[in-house]
Amino acid sequence: MIPARIYNEEWTVDARLSETFGVTREQLIQVVKEVVGARADAVENDPITAAGQFAYIHGTRNVRALFRARGWNLFRKDNIELVRHPERDLTISYQSVDLAASESCSPLAISGKGAGAERAIEEAQLSLFSPAELERSDPRARATINTGMWFFCVSVVDDDVRAELSLASGVSGGNFSGFIERIFIVKKGEWDNIRLGTGQDSDAVDFEPIIIRKQ
């Protein structure tokens, strides 16, 4: 299995996000805030799955709002809700996971991944590397990846909130089999400072409303 290239230092994260995705860490943190707020809207009388459903809906909605305001397009493939770059074969989907931004383990989708996701990921990632690149054991030696199907993974375990934007290598046994690249957005221990506004620029995030009229 190809070892994942991990970006976990703030300056490398900012540079990587700007280079390929045209967004900032602060803007993705705003998406995380929307997910956490949506989960908190679930009450005792709701179905037991309500918090997870709210997280998925608002995660997908806000990922799309962020990127569509920058010219990306709404996209669906094999029942996967995505947003797609207007020129490159580059897509992003929201995903709730068990644990994000941990160097010791890779995220696993809370709801698992079906055959459609397996086909879509395999097709999207198939041509990312040449045979020579696949043989390299050092992820730092690989060229920057500007295509593929990426997942904005968010985990919420009580007060431990984490997030990463990552490129899955495939699906096996109904879940992610690993990742090629992982960009850590919110790491362990950072959420308290983020939610309290410590060290964050509240004016850095700009969501622009998108109005779609029914035909």
pLDDT tens digit sequence for 98-144: 999 999 999 999 988 878 888 888 887 765 655 455 455 555 556 77
pLDDT of residue 103: 94
Q: If we measure between CA atoms, which residue out of 78, 75, 44, 39 comes closest to residue 58?
A: 39
User: Count of domains in the chain?
Assistant: 1
pLDDT in tens, 35-49: 999 999 999 999 999
Would 215 be classed as within a structural domain? no
The domain containing residue 28 runs over which residues? 5-195
Would 206 be classed as within a structural domain? no
Would 136 be classed as within a structural domain? yes
Would 203 be classed as within a structural domain? no
Give the HSE-up count for residue 188: Cα atoms under 13 Å, Cβ half-sphere.
Answer: 6
Would 207 be classed as within a structural domain? no
Would 159 be classed as within a structural domain? yes
Would 163 be classed as within a structural domain? yes
16: part of which helix (H) or strand (E)? Answer: helix 10-20
Spans in the chain with pLDDT lower than 70: 1-2, 126-142, 198-215
pLDDT of residue 165: 98
pTM: 0.85
SS3 content of the chain, % helix, strand, coil (to 5): 30, 25, 40
* Distance (Å) of CA 129 to CA 15, 149, 168, 191: 22, 14, 13, 35
Q: Strand pairing partners for 10?
A: none
Would 212 be classed as within a structural domain? no
